[in-house]
Chains A and B, each alone.
Chain A
Amino acid sequence: MREISRRGFLAQSCKGVSAVWLAAHWTDIRAAAQHAHHTAQTTAPAKFEFFTPEQAREIEAAAAQIIPSDDSVGAREAHVIYFIDRVLATIEADKQPLYKQGLALLGSRARRAGGARFSELDAAQQIAVLKKIEKTPFFQLLRGHTIAGFLANPEYGGNYNQAGWRLIGFEDQGTFAPPFGFYDRDYKPEQ
């Protein structure tokens, strides 16, 4: 409703990214940020902390259907998978079982759809599988993590090269000057 009632509403809407997140584990997220920074600076392939490479491939494939790569970059190019991995290795270790269940669910649904694993299904099949599980706590959490990994500050490991921000047109420039948008460009006050 009003400004901060809306904030309460927002906090509730963002449940996919559990609300205790940063509150409880600020030092861990700092460490995660440093890790991400380090990862970004090295040429060696990034190491996963929680996922096996095979698991990461499955989760990344699912995240890539939540924010797909089309004529512009998606969750995959924004390195959302590293964001999720770090989150699960540190501040949301309690969510690891949910991801393990989710991986099992993706696997069994993929086999029912005739594939060996989710990441090997074609896009239409992947979307069909995700539609069937979109009400599950696993999917809701994955959706929240994908969005946050796509749009939060790059220091958290995702939003690589500000890919998410570029897509939506957001800039964190520190300072702006008018005109800010299309409609205030030629503004003349009327008397």
Chain B
Amino acid sequence: MSPVNQAQPKYPPADEVDFVIVGSGAAGGVIAKELSAAGFRVVVLEQGPYLKEPDFAHDEMKSLYQEALTNNHKQQPNTFRARPSQKARVQPAVTYGRVVGGGTVHFTGNYWRFHEIDFVERSRLGAIAGTGFADWPITYQELEPYYTKVEWEVGVSGQAGANPFDPPRSRGYPVPPLPIKSSGVLLERAARKLGWHAAPAPMAILSRPHNGRNACIHCGFCEYYGCEVGAKSSTLASVIRVAEATGRCEIRPLSYVRKIKIDKRGRAVGVIYFDDKKQEILQRARAVVICANGAETPRLLLMSKSNLFPQGLANSSGLVGRYLMFNGGAFAGSLFEQPLNEFKSVVVSRIVHDFYDTDPKRGFYGGGGIDFRFDLQPVAFAFAGLPQDAPQWGKDFKAMLKQYYTRTVYMLAHTTSLPVASNSITLDDQVKDAWGLPALRVTYRDHPDDIKTAKFFLARGLELLGAAGAKKTWNFPVGEQTFGVHLLGTCRLGDDPKQSVINRDHRAHDVPNLFICDGSSFVTSGRGQPTCTIQALAFRAADRITRLAKAGEI
């Protein structure tokens, strides 16, 4: 572990800081930077360790088995059930980043903006029975300046105007798209043949130096890995550094928050966390901002129940933890004649958005995007990268490894999930984590339209692979999901306190000095790439919080 930044202050927990932020990921990192730059004293509590570039390595075994960058399912068991009537069983159900920088450290870096339609889809399409399908309280136009801030301050490579389906923008990207890969050339070729459109993928990985950071060196250890040169735009590599340089922001790793402490008036006085020795500490603050992700944020609120808030904190609506959305998807493999060498460089270079919008003619709700990618290092490929009917050992197995590794590319589709009230994060009443806290219980069953959408996208993806000239394709059947990494919707934004958990300022309807911003804030799921929008919300939320604080309204 590297020494902490010299500029970092050390705040004694008993001293009341202006803000304590729970979580240092996509949203927490941005809000920490914005609030400390605005002059506030900020403590960020992160349950994971503070790793830096020298700690990251090209080591597949470590990445696959150690869970070094993500939540550890042994210490923090999940339970899962498809329906509320079933008994939940212990099994991994969510993965999220558990290091300073959160999931942005190991993510792929797909940075699509949401489109205008994502915020007003309910008005356009009408209600969908059995769901909480709703408009957002904010529009794309209100969020647009903050998308631009994400692209410039966090660092996104892309080409404005290249994608005919993109929403309007006020400014281009700071750096051009990353170089095209063979997978991108093939996707472009296929899309053209089918009359569709492939465009350079906007990626949170720098193609050129920007804001004093390095450009990508195309090493190929991207998804699941921390970037060794800081070219991937994690909050660790970007905004957290700026926050620390203000001298007002303390990043406190290995701090696992178990409760928001509330006074008799119903205001937050701080948060109680376990330090690395499992000792309980109260960090006092004038206001609390929770950015712990769409699974841990509702869990923390539910664990913070008290006499004043018997259903859990900020839960008068009963919606904390509900409307969980994972995003859907479809997946197929393909073999080409010549080597693509997809193990080099970033994971995705081209995307197809022709089926982004819901088309009522299809008879079901849903839309998404498609890319071609390859994300398997050698060991994982040998275990899981070949067609399912491939030989498992012997000379034919070996021959397939030799033929397929450099010639394989996968089609991945990223699709919508509808907000269903019974899909939820709750506290397990039997299983506890290594700190004695109730385990995170996931209840999830894809809405039938989500399954239809995934099947529709699998068919389009196979058409693309065929049009690209694949010698062979294979796919996995679309099934109901039991595992999520996009953790969305569980503390939704809204103007009506009965229908939402936080207001348009990201302030909890029930607690005036409690703010929430992360994937849990989403009202609808978008099309499978949520991080850019989480960060646009975070820049906007920080703006609103700053104004309220300076006006003395918190």
Contacts and interface: CB of A to CB of B under 8 A. Distances in A.
A169 B397 contact: no
A181 to B, nearest CB: 4
B406 A168 contact: yes
Interface stretch (A17-25, A45-53, A111-119): A17-25
Interface in B437-469: 454
A65 B224 CA distance: 32
Given A8-B483, A182-B338, A184-B180, A23 B65 contact: yes
Interface string A2-21: 11111111110110110111
A72 interface: yes
Contacts of A180: 179, 181-182, 218, 340-342, 344-345
With most chain A CB atoms within 10 A of its CB, the pick from B64, B186, B376 is B64
Given A169-B341, A180-B345, A182-B182, A153 B61 contact: yes
A143 B393 CA distance: 8
With most chain B CB atoms within 10 A of its CB, the pick from A1, A4, A70, A134 is A1
A107 interface: no
Interface string B353-396: 00000000000000000000001111111111000000011110
Contact of A184 (B65, B182, B376): B182
B95 interface: yes
Interface string B204-227: 000000000000011110011000
Q: Sort chain A's interface into a size bin.
A: 35 or more
Contact of A11 (B64, B326, B331): B64
Nearest to B184: A184
A172 interface: yes
Interface string A165-191: 101111111111110111110010010
Contacts of A148: 61, 379
Contacts of B378: 151-152, 164-165, 168, 170
11 contacts: A1-B454, A2-B485, A11-B65, A22-B65, A23-B65, A65-B393, A151-B379, A168-B405, A174-B219, A180-B344, A190-B188
Contacts of B59: 153
Interface of B: 58-62, 64-67, 72, 74, 92, 95, 108, 179-182, 184-186, 188, 192, 217-220, 223-224, 326-331, 336, 338-345, 375-384, 392-395, 397-398, 401-402, 405-406, 412, 414, 454, 476, 478-479, 481, 483-486, 528
A74 interface: yes
Contacts, number: 200
Interface in A126-172: 127, 130, 134, 143-144, 146-148, 150-153, 156, 164-165, 167-172
B35 to A, nearest CB: 30
With most chain A CB atoms within 10 A of its CB, the pick from B61, B179, B397, B414 is B61
A67 B339 contact: no
Contacts of B186: 183
A66 interface: yes
Nearest to A21: B65
Contact of A167 (B62, B64, B331, B402): B402
Given A68-B394, A134-B393, A147-B379, A6 B331 contact: yes
A5 B186 CA distance: 25
Contact of B220 (A7, A68, A176): A176
B381 to A, nearest CB: 8
Contacts of B454: 1
B200 to A, nearest CB: 9
B132 to A, nearest CB: 22
B485 A181 contact: no
B375 A175 contact: no
A134 B392 CA distance: 10
A67 B331 contact: no
A152 B338 contact: no
Contacts of A19: 65
Closest 10 A/B residue pairs (Cβ) = A182-B338, A181-B182, A183-B182, A168-B405, A4-B485, A2-B329, A151-B378, A181-B340, A175-B217, A181-B341
Given A14-B384, A66-B394, A5 B179 contact: no
Contacts of B397: 66-67
A9 B184 CA distance: 25
A74 B402 CA distance: 12
B218 A177 contact: yes
B181 A181 contact: yes
Nearest to A20: B74
Contacts of A1: 328-331, 454, 476, 478-479, 481
Given A23-B66, A177-B218, A187-B185, A2 B414 contact: yes
B343 A170 contact: yes
